[in-house]
Chains A and B, each alone.
Chain A
Amino acid sequence: MTINEVQDSIIEEFSLFDDWMDKYNLLIDLGKELPVIDPKFKVKDFLIEGCQSKVWLHPDYDGKMIIFTADSDAIITRGIVALLIKVFSNRTPEEIISTDLYFIEKIGLRQNLSPTRSNGLLSMVRQMKLYALAFNAKKQIELRYGSN
Chain B
Amino acid sequence: MKDIAEIRADFPILNRKVYDKPLVYFDNGATTQKPQCVIDAVTEVYTTYNANIHRGVHFLSDMSSEAYENAREKVRSFINAGKREEVVFTSGTTGSINGIAFSFGERYIKPGDEIIISHLEHHANIVPWQMMCERKGAVLRIIPINNAGEIILEEYLKMLSSKTKFVSVTQVSNALGTVLPVNEIIAAAHSVNVPVLIDGAQGIQHGVVDMKTMDCDFYVFSSHKIYGPIGIGILYGKEKWLSELPPFQGGGDMVDKVTFEKTTYNELPFKFEAGTMNYPGAIGLARALDYVNSIGRENIAIMEKELLSYATEKLSGINGLKIYGTSVRKIPTISFLLKDIHQYDAGMILDKMGIAVRTGTHCAQPVMDRYGIDGTIRASICFYNTKEEIDTLATGIEKVISMFA
Which residues of A are at the interface with B, using a C-beta cutoff of 8 A? 20-21, 24-25, 28, 51-53, 73-77, 119
Interface residue tally on B, bucketed by range: 10 to 19
- Do B344 and A20 touch across chains, with their CB atoms under 8 A apart? no
* B329-388 contacts to A (CB < 8 Å): 342-345, 347-349, 352, 359-360, 374-375
Q: B403 an interface residue at 8 Å Cβ cutoff?
A: yes
Tell whether A20 pairs with B19 under 8 Å between CB atoms, given A25-B403, A53-B344, A76-B344: yes
- Do A74 and B344 touch across chains, with their CB atoms under 8 A apart? yes
Q: Report the minimum CB–CB distance from B364 to chain A (whole Å).
A: 14
Q: Report the minimum CB–CB distance from A30 to chain B (whole Å).
A: 13
Q: B59 an interface residue at 8 Å Cβ cutoff?
A: no
Tell whether A75 pairs with B352 under 8 Å between CB atoms, given A25-B403, A52-B359, A52-B375: no
- Do A75 and B342 touch across chains, with their CB atoms under 8 A apart? yes
- Do B360 and A51 touch across chains, with their CB atoms under 8 A apart? yes
Q: Report the minimum CB–CB distance from B229 to chain A (whole Å).
A: 21
- Do A24 and B352 touch across chains, with their CB atoms under 8 A apart? yes
- Do A28 and B404 touch across chains, with their CB atoms under 8 A apart? yes
Q: Which residue of A lies closest to B375 (CB)?
A: A52
A52, B345: Cα distance in complex, Å: 10
Q: Which residue of B lies closest to A21 (CB)?
A: B352
Query: Could you say which of A20, A21, A25, A76 contacts B345, with CB atoms under 8 Å apart?
Result: A76
Q: Which residue of B lies closest to A20 (CB)?
A: B352
- Do A119 and B344 touch across chains, with their CB atoms under 8 A apart? yes
Tell whether A53 pairs with B342 under 8 Å between CB atoms, given A20-B19, A24-B403, A75-B404: yes
Q: Which of A21, A25, A76 has the most CB of B within 10 A?
A: A76
- Do A28 and B403 touch across chains, with their CB atoms under 8 A apart? yes
- Do A75 and B360 touch across chains, with their CB atoms under 8 A apart? no
Q: Report the minimum CB–CB distance from B370 to chain A (whole Å).
A: 19
Q: Which residue of B lies closest to A27 (CB)?
A: B348
Q: Closest 5 interchain pairs by CB?
A: A74-B342, A52-B344, A74-B344, A53-B344, A20-B352
Q: Which of B19, B345, B374, B404 has the most CB of A within 10 A?
A: B345
Q: Report the minimum CB–CB distance from B142 to chain A (whole Å).
A: 24
A20-B352, A53-B344 are known contacts; what are 14 more A-B pairs with Cβ within 8 Å?
A: A20-B19, A21-B352, A24-B403, A52-B343, A52-B344, A52-B375, A73-B342, A73-B374, A74-B342, A74-B345, A75-B342, A75-B345, A76-B344, A77-B344
Residues of A within 8 A of B349 (CB): 21, 24, 76
A52, B368: Cα distance in complex, Å: 13
**25 A-B residue pairings within 8 Å (CB atoms):** A21-B349, A21-B352, A24-B352, A24-B403, A28-B403, A28-B404, A51-B360, A52-B343, A52-B344, A52-B359, A53-B342, A53-B344, A73-B342, A73-B374, A74-B342, A74-B345, A75-B345, A75-B404, A76-B344, A76-B345, A76-B348, A76-B349, A77-B344, A77-B345, A119-B344
Q: Which residue of A lies closest to B399 (CB)?
A: A21
Q: Report the minimum CB–CB distance from B141 to chain A (whole Å).
A: 29
A22, B349: Cα distance in complex, Å: 11
Residues of A within 8 A of B359 (CB): 52
Residues of B within 8 A of A21 (CB): 349, 352, 403
- Do B360 and A52 touch across chains, with their CB atoms under 8 A apart? yes
Q: Report the minimum CB–CB distance from A136 to chain B (whole Å).
A: 33
Q: Report the minimum CB–CB distance from B341 to chain A (whole Å).
A: 8
A77, B359: Cα distance in complex, Å: 14
A144, B349: Cα distance in complex, Å: 51
Residues of A within 8 A of B360 (CB): 51-52
Q: Report the minimum CB–CB distance from B61 to chain A (whole Å).
A: 38
Residues of B within 8 A of A20 (CB): 19, 352
Residues of B within 8 A of A28 (CB): 403-404
A28, B375: Cα distance in complex, Å: 21
* B18-72 contacts to A (CB < 8 Å): 19
A102, B343: Cα distance in complex, Å: 28
A28, B344: Cα distance in complex, Å: 13
> B312-328 vs A: 1/0 string, CB under 8 Å?
00000000000000000
Tell whether A24 pairs with B404 under 8 Å between CB atoms, given A53-B342, A74-B342: no
Q: Which of B342, B344, B359, B403 has the most CB of A within 10 A?
A: B344
Residues of B within 8 A of A73 (CB): 342, 374
A77, B403: Cα distance in complex, Å: 15
Q: Report the minimum CB–CB distance from B22 to chain A (whole Å).
A: 15
Q: Which residue of B lies closest to A19 (CB)?
A: B352
Q: Which residue of B lies closest to A120 (CB)?
A: B344
A137, B359: Cα distance in complex, Å: 40
Residues of A within 8 A of B343 (CB): 52
Residues of A within 8 A of B404 (CB): 28, 75
A25, B402: Cα distance in complex, Å: 11
Query: Could you say which of B342, B348, B374 contacts A24, with CB atoms under 8 Å apart?
Result: B348
A51, B374: Cα distance in complex, Å: 10
A135, B260: Cα distance in complex, Å: 59
Q: Which of A25, A51, A52, A77 has the most CB of B within 10 A?
A: A52
Residues of B within 8 A of A119 (CB): 344
Q: Which residue of A lies closest to B352 (CB)?
A: A20
